[in-house]
Amino acid sequence: MAEQTAPVDEQALDEVVRFTSDLIRIDTTNRGGGDCRERPAAEYAAARLAEAGLEPTLLERTEGRTNVVARIEGTDPSADALLVHGHLDVVPARAEDWSVHPFSGEIRDGVVWGRGAVDMKNMDAMILAAVRQWARHGVRPRRDIVIAFTADEEASAEDGSGFLADRHPGLFEGCTEGISESGAFTFHDGAGRQLYPIAAGERGTGWLKLTARGRAGHGSKVNRDNAVTRLAAAIARIGAHEWPLRLTPTVRAALTELAALYGIDAALDDPEGVDRLLEKLGPAAALVEPTVRNSANPTMLDAGYKINVIPGEAVGHVDGRYVPGGEDEFRETLDLLTGPHVDWEFEHREVALQAPVDSVTYARMRAAVEEFAPEGHVVPYCMPGGTDAKQFSRLGITGYGFAPLKLPEGFDYAALFHGVDERVPVEALHFGVRVLDRFLRTA
């Protein structure tokens, strides 16, 4: 067996770039409602795994919505297994809005362009490149590694991680922890510091449908039971609501570490003190601010069919998110804000997640980043949105966000998620595969 700490070879560095570009060129746009076909990307990933001597399994709930699962046996059969997962689908992109075609996978001036470059075909490519390097050098990790490439993450996950967790739990036997997207990327704070947030939690997802009912009638007549008016009033109340501060252990740990790094006193039990701390953190506050409370943002309205007809029903949609432990407060608040004439229901609901930041696994992720970015400062954070970790949590798997990238200053990572001109530097991919390789060998 080869030395377990051997460096990543040149072939892996070349492959992580090529695989990212190849996967981008496979259009796996997920428009919701089942309008997506991940199978070509799944077959591509499965072929790369098979070339490395693994035996990937392809699974579908719906034709064309393909998932890939493979297991690498570790050297310690008594150790818990680790799940490493990435999704294959991407959000839509309009070519006319982009500097390059969003599915070109073009490599220009040391940057890979295209939809999925950061969300998250880059991480898929890192996984493939790392695993193939192990095969070339006879490397085995300490614990079993289960690799999963999933469909449908950008919608309901019903054809992806939800299907796998509900219908094929045996494939994940022994997995107690998992890693996936949105963590260990460079965050430049504008004052010369480089932060590397590793995700140890996610807010819960509460996508809501609001329905207001009233009395239909002629638009010229007085109508105190106007469904549009009732919906508009409820939507306005929701949009204006000030949610109270709710610090979870992950967010509290993040604020504590950031306060120490910046030399700021942290009065975390005082809401005004937290607000002052966030103000003093400057740009770094963006890592924490979205997750210190619940949120509910109105996003869509649908009512009426003619200007002089008052409809009997009006419908609105709200993107709600709640911190770990905050779902009851979220529900109770929505009941109050919608009032007696507007009903609400979950169109899509997923749990909030929290992972320990004092675990051995977290420490090893931190160490892997610090080895290749000694100038950086690793901090925990909670993701404001959600990932496939929610579905895999049904199997008792604790999820972390760990998709390492070393990014240059001025490269707005967060804005490129679902944004125009999504791209990733080649050097960021090289850093990522090195860090991922080191972590997975020691995990």
Question: How many whole angstroms separate alpha carbon 193 and alpha carbon 171?
Answer: 42
Question: How many whole angstroms separate alpha carbon 171 and alpha carbon 164?
Answer: 8
pLDDT digits (tens, 9 = 90+) for 162-207: 999 999 999 999 999 999 999 999 999 999 999 999 999 999 999 9
Residues assigned a catalytic role = 89, 153
Q: What's the pLDDT at 414?
A: 87
Question: How many whole angstroms separate alpha carbon 320 and alpha carbon 401?
Answer: 21
Asked if residue 79 lies in contact with residue 143, where contact means CB atoms within 8 angstroms, the answer is yes
* CB atoms near residue 259 (< 10 Å): 17
Q: What are phi and psi of 103, to 5 degrees?
A: -120, 30
Indicate whether 7 pLDDT > 90.
no
Q: How confident is the model at residue 1 (pLDDT cuts 50, 70, 90)?
A: very low
Asked if residue 318 lies in contact with residue 208, where contact means CB atoms within 8 angstroms, the answer is yes
Q: Which run of H or E residues covers position 139?
A: none
Residues in the chain: 443
Per the structure block, which two tokens stand in for 401? 């966000």
pLDDT digits (tens, 9 = 90+) for 162-172: 999 999 999 99
Strand order in the sheet with 423-425: 107-108, 111-113, 423-425
Average pLDDT, integer, range 76-85: 97
pLDDT digits (tens, 9 = 90+) for 209-250: 999 999 999 999 999 999 999 999 999 999 999 999 999 999
Q: Whole-angstrom distance between the N-terminal and C-terminal Cα of the chain? A: 18
pLDDT digits (tens, 9 = 90+) for 372-417: 999 999 999 999 989 999 999 999 999 999 999 999 999 989 888 8
Rg (CA), the chain: 23
Indicate whether 38 pLDDT > 50.
yes
pLDDT digits (tens, 9 = 90+) for 328-341: 999 999 999 999 99
Show the domains of the chain with their CATH numbers: 10-182+387-442 (3.40.630.10), 205-350 (3.30.70.360)
Question: How many whole angstroms separate alpha carbon 421 and alpha carbon 424?
Answer: 10
Burial of 110 per CB tally in 10 Å (0-12, 13-18, 19+): exposed
Q: What's the pLDDT at 5?
A: 56
For the chain, helix (H) and strand (E) counts, in that order, are 12, 19
Average pLDDT, integer, range 131-144: 96
